[in-house]
Every structure is written in structure tokens, then in C-alpha cells.
Chains A and B, each alone.
Chain A
Amino acid sequence: MLDINGKYCIVGVGNTEYGRTPGRNAVTLTVEAIRNAIEDCGIDKGEIDAVLTKYPTSNFQGLFSARVAQALGVVPRVTATLDQAGASNISLIAYAIMCMEAGLCNVATISYGDNPNTSGRPSYGRRPAAEAARGPTYGGDEAVAGMTGAPCGYAMIAQRYRYEYGLTDEQLGTIATTFRRHASLNPNAQFQQPFTMEEYLSSRWVAEPFRLYDCCPVSDGAAAVIVTSVERARGLKKKPVSVMSFAQAHPAWDLAQREVLTTSGAAISGPTAFRLAGISVEDVDFAELYDCFTIVPIVTLEDYGFCKKGEGPDFIGGGRIGLEGSLPLNTSGGLLSETGMPGMQLIVEAVRQLRGEAGPRQVKDPEICVVSNQGGVMTTHATLVLRN
């Protein structure tokens, strides 16, 4: 088996503003984030020989990595556009490292960029009224039953979780209010205004058991990282952040047909990544966990082994997941408050924290971080373990 632990690293990170960027398309947003990542580490653009992208979620485009390569002025030796939905970014870092290990490339950009907030969003489940008025539409069971929005599937999971293990509204609210408090210390967050538990509880229902504040926003924006070998990283502007391990696992099936709804791919992906990194959960100083909806970090913590199954709702209490707690989570606000972008922002924030660049939201002297990425309706999962 290959041992990649510590051989490769993230040397540059970059992002755009998050929220609404009217008039900007997925390619230009992506190029801006990659340009910022290049400036962050000071590597010569001519050294980039792999261009890897998660496809834009709101508007699928074929050969997306090739389009980005052209806009970057790069003729790459390796490209890929991966479809693991929100798990794609971590799995593309894994792909980059495996290609480097095989001698195919040396410096890779991995990026996500999209503008679903201002360009229409068919894949986010909203269908314009004018289109609907034209005539009957045909769909699968979920569409026929009126289950078309992204929150619905996760709400179905949360309801089942509540039945199997118990879960209070306030426990979901602890996730939402904590991550928003972290976002209030992040000037680039899409939502920075903190809210109280009372305000959480009085926010409108979206799909019970989810309220508005249980759901991440739809966001425009882009983020990117640059990955290379530890040897090549020497002499660059910033301290490299080492990739200890990565893994993935995918429940994959339609929600209704999945044997268990309340355990995610994290239950395999997490322990695999920890074993390959040679660490246990006690070694993790903070985590950036995919949080498209409030139930997800709770399930992920359990599946990663930070606590037993069913104990997640209690585990997150008592200030444990705050910036001063023993396991700070989603230090920039996560999907719920920083940006609803599917996953790359979590990796960027992990790198900034491990470098000690996070300003007022900086976690004290972190050494090891675990990042989770997840896509679909807990359909895909990927894990990344990073070290400073």
C-alpha cells in the first residue's frame, strides 16, 4: 500500500467573496479563486500541470476543467471533473496526490466555483412558475409526493434520527447558533449577524423538523487550493499544510431504499482516514464538518467516532464545539453561515487555522484538523486529515 502520509501538502488557498455575485459565471469565479491561491503561495503559474474541478452544481457544464484550464492559460497534463457532489473537493485532492505519486503531475489546482444564487438553480429544486404553467411534468416518487427541495431529504433523516435516538429542537439550534457566532468573526461570511436560541426557534419552518436556520444558504462564489509535494513546497511564501490521509465511502442509494438513514458514509470514511493517518479522534484539535443542514455534523461526529451513535446531540452541548471548546467545529461559520458552497471553503478554512491566520476566530495552536465533505442526501462522503 502507498504511504502518502506527509509527502504532499496544500501550499496555497484562495477564494472569492461569498453570497451574491451577479454577472459572474462559474469559470471567472473559479479563476479568481485560483489566482488568489497562486498569489497566496507565490508559485509560478507555469508550474501548474493539473487542473481539477468539481462541476458547477447549478448548471452542469461538460469538460469544465478544460474550460478553467484555458481561462487560466494552462495546458495541463492531468484534468478531472468529479461527480461526488459535495464530497468532490476532498476526493479531487486525493486524485491529485495519487497522480503525483504515479509521476503524472507536480502541481495541482483543485477548485469549486458556481453562481446558483444569481443564475437560477434548477438543481436546487426550485422550478420557475412560468415553466410549471406550460403543462404537466413527470417525475419520480419524490417529485410526485412534493419532495423536491434539498432540505426535504435531510429533514427526513433528522426525523428518523429523532425517532431512533432522540433529538431536541434546541440541539439542532446549538449547531446553528454556534456556527453563526463563528461567522460573526469572519468578515467574508455571507451571514455574520448572530442569532439567539429564541430567534432560531422562531425562524420559519421549511420542512419540519427543519426551520430556516437549519438550512445552509444558496451562495455564489469560488474557492481553490494548490497541492504539491513537500519537496516542491520548500521556499514558497506560506508554511505548507501537510495531507496526512484521505478516504471516502458512499451510502449511494436513494434515501428510501437505504438500509439505515441515520449513519452516513462517514462511519467508514472517517475511521479509514484516521487509521491511514496513524491518529485517533483524541489527536484532532478542531474539525471542519460538512453542514449543509444542522443534523449532518451531529451524525458525522458520531460516525467519525468522537462519540457513540446517538450521543452526538449531547456531545455538541456545553460549549464543546465553540472556538474555546475542546473540539471547535466550523470555525468560519461552515456551510450554514459562511457560504453554502459545497465543501471547498471548509478545506480553505482548515488551512488558514493550521497556519494561524484566522485572526479573531483563530483556534489556539492547532496541530491536526479533520475535514468532512458530503454530497447528495448523505449520498457521498469524503474525509481529509491535515496537519500543520
Chain B
Amino acid sequence: MTVEYPKPLPQLTDDNGPYLEGLRERELRLQRCGACGRYRYPPARFCPHCLSEEASWEVASGRGTLYSFIVVHQLYHPGFRDDIPYNVAIVELDEGPRITSNVVGCENRDLKIGMRLVAEYFDATPEATILKFRPA
């Protein structure tokens, strides 16, 4: 069997189907609570703020700010061998939640906390699209 994408792929959970489907359609979809109005991530059945089960899926702006980042030199997963050194970023979305991802289109040395970012969609396999960010 040929391993076409050597890195971990997003895992389908009980709650994140619409999120992953949104990425395939190049949209960042977030759950928004029907009771308190707050966006939440990761996807979950109950709102962690008010515990309401009422929620809708909304298309988020895809815009955010770099909250923190690291540059990984150690090989932890063989799929990342050719990427070292690569960055991992925590991105604070304008809607509030934060997502762990990577920043593309920017040298690691130019990463700055507070820089504006915009979502980028990367098709890892025909079934799986991965969310990344690039400088806005």
C-alpha cells in the first residue's frame, strides 16, 4: 500500500463532521451557541460556556492573529522528516476560539506573535483537507 500522505490526518469525531466537510469546501465552519451566541472550538455537543445543546454551524471569517508558535527541529513523526524545521502555530480566530495549525507562506524567522493571518486550505488526500494559515 502506498502511503500518499505520510503525516497524521484529521480524525473524524462524533462532533466535527460539519467542520471537516467545511474544510473540503474551503470554508472555516464553527459552531455557534444558540443560547449564548458564543463560537466554540473544538466542536462539541454542549456549549462549554452555558451547556446549551442548541447550536448552528456558521461560516467564520477565516481571519485571526498569531497567538504563539514554535519551530520544531526534533523529528517526532517520520512524516515530517522533510519539513524540519517547521512551525506550529496557535491562531486566535477573530470569532474567539483558538486553533492549532501551521503558518505557510512565511519564513519561520519572520513569524511574529500578533501578526494577522488568513485561512488556507490544503488538500492532503481526496477525502481530507487540512486548515493552515498564511499572512493576511
Contacts and interface: CB of A to CB of B under 8 A. Distances in A.
A127 B70 contact: no
A344 B67 CA distance: 34
Interface string B76-104: 11111001011011100000011111100
Contact of A256 (B7, B85, B98, B125): B98
A58 interface: no
Interface stretch (B8-16, B28-36, B53-61): B8-16
A344 B129 CA distance: 44
B9 A147 contact: no
Contacts, number: 125
Contacts of B68: 156-157, 159-160, 163, 261
B77 A127 contact: yes
Contacts of A256: 67, 90, 98-100
Contacts of A206: 72-74
Interface of B: 1, 3, 5-12, 41-42, 67-74, 76-80, 83, 85-86, 88-90, 97-102, 113-114, 125, 130
A141 B99 contact: yes
Nearest to B5: A136
Nearest to B79: A132
A143 B77 CA distance: 9
Interface of A: 125-127, 129, 132-133, 135-149, 151-152, 155-157, 159-160, 163, 204-210, 254-257, 261
Contacts of A127: 76-78
Contact of A152 (B72, B99, B113): B72
A146 B83 contact: yes
B71 A208 contact: yes
24 contacts: A126-B76, A127-B77, A132-B6, A133-B3, A135-B1, A137-B9, A138-B11, A139-B9, A142-B88, A142-B100, A143-B77, A144-B7, A144-B9, A145-B88, A146-B80, A146-B83, A147-B70, A152-B76, A152-B88, A156-B70, A159-B70, A207-B70, A208-B85, A256-B100
B85 A159 contact: no
B88 A146 contact: yes
Contacts of A125: 76
Most chain B CB atoms below 10 A, which of A126, A139, A256: A256
Contacts of A129: 78
A143 B8 CA distance: 6
Given A141-B100, A144-B130, A208-B70, A156 B90 contact: yes
Nearest to B67: A160
A94 B127 CA distance: 50
Contacts of B74: 149, 151, 205-207
B9 A132 contact: no
A144 B5 CA distance: 11
Contacts of B42: 140-141, 254, 257
A158 to B, nearest CB: 9
Given A145-B100, A160-B67, A160-B113, A139 B8 contact: yes
A239 B8 CA distance: 54
Given A142-B100, A163-B113, A207-B74, 10 more contacts: A132-B6, A140-B10, A144-B9, A146-B80, A152-B88, A156-B69, A159-B68, A205-B71, A208-B70, A257-B98
A147 B100 contact: yes
A162 B43 CA distance: 30
Nearest to B108: A208
A388 to B, nearest CB: 41
Closest 10 CB pairs of A and B: A138-B11, A139-B8, A208-B71, A205-B73, A160-B68, A143-B8, A256-B98, A141-B100, A163-B113, A149-B76
